[in-house]
Structure 1
Amino acid sequence: MLQTPSQTVGPYFAYGLSPEQYLYNFKSLVGNLMVNPIDNPESITIIGKVLDGENQPIPDAMIELWQIDENNQRFGRFGTGTDPESRFIFHTLKPESVAGQAPYLTVIIFMRGQLIHSYTRIYFSDETTLNEQDEVLNAVPSERRHTLIAQKNGSVYEFNIYMQGENETVFFEI
């Protein structure tokens, strides 16, 4: 039985959290965030890293994404431990706007050294008008909003999570 790297709030067992990522021959019992981009041409890909205060990738973080809109309720996990570049990679459908809010994904970060996980959001750079109107995004100081916005590069959205430092991501208390 393989484990993900031991963590302050772990160890997490890969077969129970993200078995497909760790090459177990069964599907996860939870989560339906991931979609196959070949089967669904409307899918998007979100790629990023979790970085420490020295801008070094954290190789044993686990990221959860939650998406709830009128047509979709999706959830998925990805550990940075299996990617050679310590990235997280999600294939999903872009969330829809709900009640005039900008589309976003809720992000939960679990990692070593944290007794309590961190919460943030991913907004999308190609939703300029809705981003300008979003109450939560606009409650964030303007000089820090960019830390919540994934940048579109072709069909991929790039979003890095900075746990500390000059580019520290805005985190929310829940």
Structure 2
Amino acid sequence: MTLAPTPGQTVGPFFHYALPFDGGPELVAPGDPRRIRLHGTVFDGNGDAVPDALIEIWQPDADGNVSREPGSLRRDGFTFTGWGRVQTDRVGHYSFATMPPGAVTDGAAPFFAICVFARGLLDRLFTRAYLPESVRALAADRLLSAVPDGRRDTLIAAKDDDGYRFDIHLQGADETVFLDHGGR
């Protein structure tokens, strides 16, 4: 007997009950000389901020090493795990204290892998936030090259005074490019 799959259900807006944890947005300790901020605002299709989204990031360290260390939910203050989670605040803003990711392979474009959970979504959304300084690597990146010219900028973070700003638009004219990971 084969059972029919059950229909998807929307995620959220219940994230604040159990998913955020102490230290979730703090991937590196205060005072770490590599510490930068990755932040932005999540917007819906009307351009309104989404006050109850949950954002996760994964990244390599500054040397491009992908961590295999356990313990992301219990930060010890010195082990970089490359993973963080934070909910947006009442004005749709999120912020991580982390380090700039390094290129995983020579010549590759460094990026933050980002996952978005929000009310009304049937599944989480995946995207990337590339660093803008890697012009040559950005031009050679296979994924970025597959995105139409007019949409590529939705995947490139903007440099600011203390790190990078990456706004996420769930729909609309400035919709962020989201990736199909094939494993839904």
TM-score calculated relative to the size of structure 2: 0.76
Q: CA RMSD in A?
A: 2.1
* Percent of pairs with identical residues: 39
- Runs of 4+ deviating beyond 3 Å: 10-16
- The one-character-per-residue Cα deviations of 1:20-71 (angstroms, maximum 9, x if unpaired) are 2xxxxxx56xxx86213x3212111011011011111001100010113325
Equivalences, count = 156
Match in the other structure for 1:127: 134
| Partner amino acid, structure 2, of 1:93 | M
Match in the other structure for 1:66: 58
- The one-character-per-residue Cα deviations of 1:70-126 (angstroms, maximum 9, x if unpaired) are 25441111101xx34320001111111122220011111101001111110000112
Q: 3-state SS of the aligned residue for 1:130?
A: helix
Match in the other structure for 2:93: 87
Residues 132, 157 of structure 2: 8 Å contact kept:
yes
Q: How far apart, in 2, do the equivalents of 1:12 and 1:112 lie?
A: 9
Q: Return closer, same or farther for 1:61/1:84 CA change in 2, 3 Å cut-off.
A: closer
Residues 33, 75 of structure 1: 8 Å contact kept:
no
Q: 3-state SS of the aligned residue for 1:77?
A: strand
Residues 67, 74 of structure 1: 8 Å contact kept:
yes
Q: How far apart, in 2, do the equivalents of 1:161 and 1:76 lie?
A: 17
| Partner amino acid, structure 2, of 1:92 | T
Q: How far apart, in 2, do the equivalents of 1:62 and 1:12 lie?
A: 10
Residues 36, 98 of structure 2: 8 Å contact kept:
yes
Instruction: Name which one, 1 or 2, has greater alpha-carbon Rg.
Output: 2
Q: 3-state SS of the aligned residue for 1:143?
A: helix
| Partner amino acid, structure 2, of 1:94 | P
Q: 3-state SS of the aligned residue for 2:50?
A: coil
Unaligned runs of 5+ in 1: 1-6, 21-26
TM-score calculated relative to the size of structure 1: 0.81
Considering Cα pairs closer than 8 Å and 6+ residues apart, tell me whether 1 or 2 has the greater RCO: 2
Q: How far apart, in 2, do the equivalents of 1:139 and 1:84 lie?
A: 35
1:148 aligns with 2:155: yes
| Partner amino acid, structure 1, of 2:48 | Q
